[in-house]
Amino acid sequence: MAASAREPLVNRNGWLAFGLAALVVLTDQAVKAWLLGPFDLIDRAPVRILPFFQLNSGWNPGVAFGIFHSHGDLGRWLLVGFAACVVIALGLWVRRIDRTLSGAAIGLIMGGAIGNNIIDRVRWGQVFDFLDFSGLDFPWVFNVADSAISIGVALLVLDSLLTARPATT
């Protein structure tokens, strides 16, 4: 019997994405657990680290940068459901993606969505934010998962620009 030449269900870039997603989730949740637990940021905030950066304590019931508040339990669960659908769709897409940069970008987005929009909202009904760059006149407080989503989107745009093909006429 000849060996089957089937393609794997997940290629190398897909595994990269899933690994990065797991790393983002673990990092995001571990940092939040430490800041809310042993470090006790809620009672100590703000904690100045650099002239332009401090750790602060904030709860975000909204979506991005505190906008689109979830408006109670229905909104909370709609956001969780929407985030779960996005993560599943990205997971299906990334299984066989052919570009490494796209795989890394999608992994960052998936991990951020799982860490913020699923785990935090299921546990607390809102997202815990703590990275505060208000010393640079950046008005929003955010977290590791937010950073991963933002970097992932930027990398996805960069990858699309790098691989854009000129239109044929």
Q: Is residue 93 part of a domain?
A: yes
Residue 88 sits in which domain range?
A: 12-162
Give the Cα separation of 80 and 7 in Å (integer).
33
By 3-state DSSP, what share of the chain in percent is helix, strand and coil, each rounded to 5?
60, 10, 30
User: What pLDDT, on a 0 to 100 scale, did the predictor assign at position 64?
Assistant: 62
For residue 129, indicate whether it is catalytic.
yes
Count of the separate structural domains present in the chain: 1
Q: Are strands 127-132 and 53-60 parallel, antiparallel or unpaired?
A: antiparallel
Residue 169 lies in a domain: no
DSSP 8-state class, residue 115: I
Chain centroid to CA 54: 21
List 28, 129, 132, 159, catalytic entry = 129
pLDDT of residue 4: 58
Q: Is 120 a catalytic residue?
A: no
Please check whether residue 158 lies inside any domain of the structure. yes
More reliable by pLDDT, 28 or 167: 28
Residue 128: what are its φ and ψ, rounded to 5°?
-90, 120
Does pTM surpass 0.85? yes
Q: What local confidence, expressed as pLDDT, does residue 65 receive?
A: 55
